[in-house]
């Protein structure tokens, strides 16, 4: 019988390590490969990385199980990407995907009896604290990157050093040991040279200055000592906060130190350990003495043996996907009218497209009662301090953002009143973000971090009605007490998801002329519906008089001219009189209207 072997892969920002080991823990192969941060790799790049690893493995050796701890893996969609790429290389081999923090913690020494949780305290170029209990509960503090956080990291120490030496120079014309050593380390001649250097220095170059700070502190420099004391306090505070989220104040917790700063600077590590034990006397301190890739091997072995692998990542548990036996959405079917689209003349193609679009108003009108109900909810929301949210992926998300962004200039509303949220975030507005729409957790998180509540209305937009990001958001919004609406073009979803959203608006627009391209009829119908939602809601809350936009925000010449015309239509005033009233009111049409009425 061939003894099973297990493949562990740990991907980092600069390189990826692969380790193949047998059941007894004997290494059969270990090698270094290219960067493995999945935030910086597209799917083809991820597959190429895994193929490079597979080619270097011993011939004819097929792992019994694989675990992959990849930097940047934060969400279920991230893990799905990793597993999909791995499955393309190692077919029919069980794969577990997680992040490099998980694998590092798994590689740590065994806890002593009685430890309620383990916390990885990482300080290298960046920093992060990550912990787990035996039951699988996790907590993470830090790890935001050098621009937003990384307290107590090499970069943090280096940047603090630069800031402090120039501060002391400004305040007291004091250029001490630390300042001199920083200049020497970069072959700079005087303090002003630091300005150009730091503007072009990358993260690793700034982090390398931490060694200068440690050397300066060892020579007795007070400024360097103060910087390290501050960094130690910051990192210890993050470690303790992580522990507090996992265990009671009196319970024992194992803190595992990792990263080049902590492992190469024992005095600094000792300083942090002392601060931790001051708050948690029962703290167990250990160092990560072997590569985190060994943790990946351990996870692969655990998976093969059927061990209980706790859920990794967010605590949100999305509801099941739509029944796979549900008929295909009409938006994905072929339209019989356009089977010869590639052969039609341009003129006939135009006729065909516009004829199809002409059917949309009647399809939307069939949903009039539901649309009216939603508008009523939106009006009540606006009148009671609530907000309207649109959520979608791709074209649907962009249309929601478009409608939301038009409200402040058209109706002088605060930007927070109507908000658009798109799967994948800001960059997804102008380019596709792979896998973003497949992650219900991201949708739920978006709702949570906007503090959606009972006064709000949340409209999910998904042409097929299936988008996991949208359903994650709607499920979370419903739990938080908001009114929930789905706009889709798949009538099959109405019965399938009854109760999952308060209202499902599903006009029967039929197949697209270009099969599956929902930016066409589905997109046009979506725009019609969103126009009704916001325009008629604004009418009902007094943003319109007659059919005039009396709350328009005249932010440019065209809109100021429009404001003058609106005021003249309302009052019959001469052009110069209307313009003067608007200028006096700060170009607030309603105020100018009130002023002119009071003087007539």
Q: Report CA-CA distances (Å) from 585 to 113, 366, 410, 563.
A: 73, 44, 18, 12
* From 211, 406, 434, 496, the catalytic residue: 406
Instruction: Answer positive or negative: Cα dihedral of 59, 65, 68, 69.
Output: negative
- In this structure, what DSSP letter does residue 437 have? G
Which residues make beta-bridge pairs with 505?
Answer: 487
Q: Long-range contacts of range 51-55, CB-CB < 8 Å, 24 or more positions apart?
A: 51/89, 53/9, 53/16, 53/18, 53/89, 54/89, 54/90
> What string of DSSP letters covers 64-99?
SEEEEEETT--SHHHHHHHHHHHHHHSTT--EEEE-
Instruction: Please report which helix (H) or strand (E) contains residue 155, including its range.
Output: helix 154-172
437 in catalytic set: yes
Four-point Cα dihedral 417, 422, 426, 430, nearest 10: -120
406 in catalytic set: yes
Which residue, among 90, 77, 85, 78, has the nearest Cα to 43 in the 3D structure? 85
Instruction: Count CB-CB contacts under 10 A for residue 413.
Output: 21
Using DSSP, state whether 212 is helix, strand or coil. Answer: helix
The strand ranges marked E within 386-520 are: 388-392, 418-422, 457-461, 483-487, 503-505
Residues in the chain: 600
Q: What region does 580 belong to: left with phi over 0, alpha with psi -120 to 50, or beta?
A: alpha
* From 211, 367, 437, 512, the catalytic residue: 437
Burial letters 354-363, b for 16+ CB under 10 A, else e: eebeeebeeb
Which residues make beta-bridge pairs with 128?
Answer: 122, 142
Which residue, among 264, 298, 213, has the nearest Cα to 6 in the 3D structure? 298
Which residue, among 153, 257, 276, has the nearest Cα to 204 in the 3D structure? 153
Question: Given 3-state DSSP classes, what are the helix, strand and coil percentages for the chain, each rounded to the nearest 5?
Answer: 50, 15, 35
Question: Which residues are designated catalytic?
Answer: 406, 437
């Amino acid at each position: 019988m061939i003894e099973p072997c297990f493949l562990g892969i740990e991907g980092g920002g600069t390189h990826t390590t692969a380790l193949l080991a047998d059941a007894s823990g004997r290494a059969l192969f270990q090698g270094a490969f290219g960067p493995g941060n999945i935030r910086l790799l597209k799917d083809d790049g991820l597959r190429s990385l895994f193929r490079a690893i597979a080619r270097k493995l011993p011939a004819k050796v097929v792992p019994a199980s694989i675990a992959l701890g990849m930097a940047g893996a934060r969400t279920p969609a991230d893990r799905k990407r990793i597993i999909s790429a791995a499955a393309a290389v190692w077919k029919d081999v069980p794969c577990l995907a997680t992040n490099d923090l998980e694998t590092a913690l798994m590689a740590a020494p065994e806890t002593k009896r009685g430890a309620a949780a383990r916390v990885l305290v990482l300080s290298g170029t960046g920093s992060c604290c990550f912990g787990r209990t035996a039951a699988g509960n996790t907590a993470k503090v830090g790890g935001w990157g050098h621009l937003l956080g990384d307290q107590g990291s090499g970069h943090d120490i280096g940047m603090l050093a630069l800031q402090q030496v120039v501060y002391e120079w400004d305040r007291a014309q004091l250029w001490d040991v630390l300042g001199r050593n920083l200049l020497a380390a970069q072959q700079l001649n005087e303090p002003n040279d630091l300005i150009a250097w730091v503007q072009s220095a990358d993260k690793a170059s700034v982090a390398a200055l931490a060694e200068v700070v440690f050397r300066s502190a060892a020579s007795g420099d007070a400024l360097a000592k103060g910087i390290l004391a501050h960094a130690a306090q910051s990192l210890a505070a993050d470690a303790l906060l992580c522990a507090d989220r996992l265990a009671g104040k009196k319970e024992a917790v194992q803190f595992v130190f990792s990263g080049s700063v902590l492992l190469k600077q024992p005095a600094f590590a000792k300083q942090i350990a002392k601060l931790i034990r001051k708050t948690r006397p029962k703290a167990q301190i250990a160092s990560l003495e072997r590569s985190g890739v060994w943790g990946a091997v351990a996870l692969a072995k655990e998976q093969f043996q059927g061990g209980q692998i706790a859920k990794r990542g967010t605590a949100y548990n999305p509801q099941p996907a739509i029944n796979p036996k549900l008929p295909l959405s009409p938006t994905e079917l072929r339209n019989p009218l356009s089977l010869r689209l590639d052969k039609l003349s341009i003129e006939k193609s135009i006729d065909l497209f516009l004829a199809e679009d002409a059917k949309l108003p009647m399809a939307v009108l069939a949903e009039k009662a539901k649309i009216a109900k939603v508008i009523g909810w939106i009006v009540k929301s606006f009148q009671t301090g609530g907000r309207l949210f649109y959520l979608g992926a791709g074209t649907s998300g962009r249309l929601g953002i478009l409608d939301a962004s038009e409200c402040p200039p058209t109706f002088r509303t605060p930007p927070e009143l109507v908000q658009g949220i798109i799967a994948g975030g800001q960059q997804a507005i102008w380019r596709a973000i792979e896998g973003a729409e497949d992650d219900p957790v991201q949708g739920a998180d978006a709702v949570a971090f906007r503090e959606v509540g009972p006064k709000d209305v949340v409209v999910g937009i998904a042409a097929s009605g299936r988008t996991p990001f949208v359903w994650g958001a709607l499920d979370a919004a419903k739990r938080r007490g908001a009114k929930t609406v789905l706009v889709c073009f798949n009538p099959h979803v109405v019965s399938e998801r009854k109760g999952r959203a308060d209202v499902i608006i599903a006009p029967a627009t039929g197949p697209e002329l270009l099969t599956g391209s929902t930016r066409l009829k589905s997109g046009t119908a979506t725009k019609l519906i969103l126009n009704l939602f916001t325009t008629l809601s604004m009418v009902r809350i007094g943003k319109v008089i007659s059919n005039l936009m009396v709350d328009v925000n005249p932010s440019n010449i065209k809109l100021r001219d429009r404001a003058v015309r609106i005021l003249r239509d309302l009052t019959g005033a001469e052009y110069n009189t209307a313009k003067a009233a608007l200028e006096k009111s700060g170009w607030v049409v309603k105020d100018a209207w009130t002023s002119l009425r009071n003087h007539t």
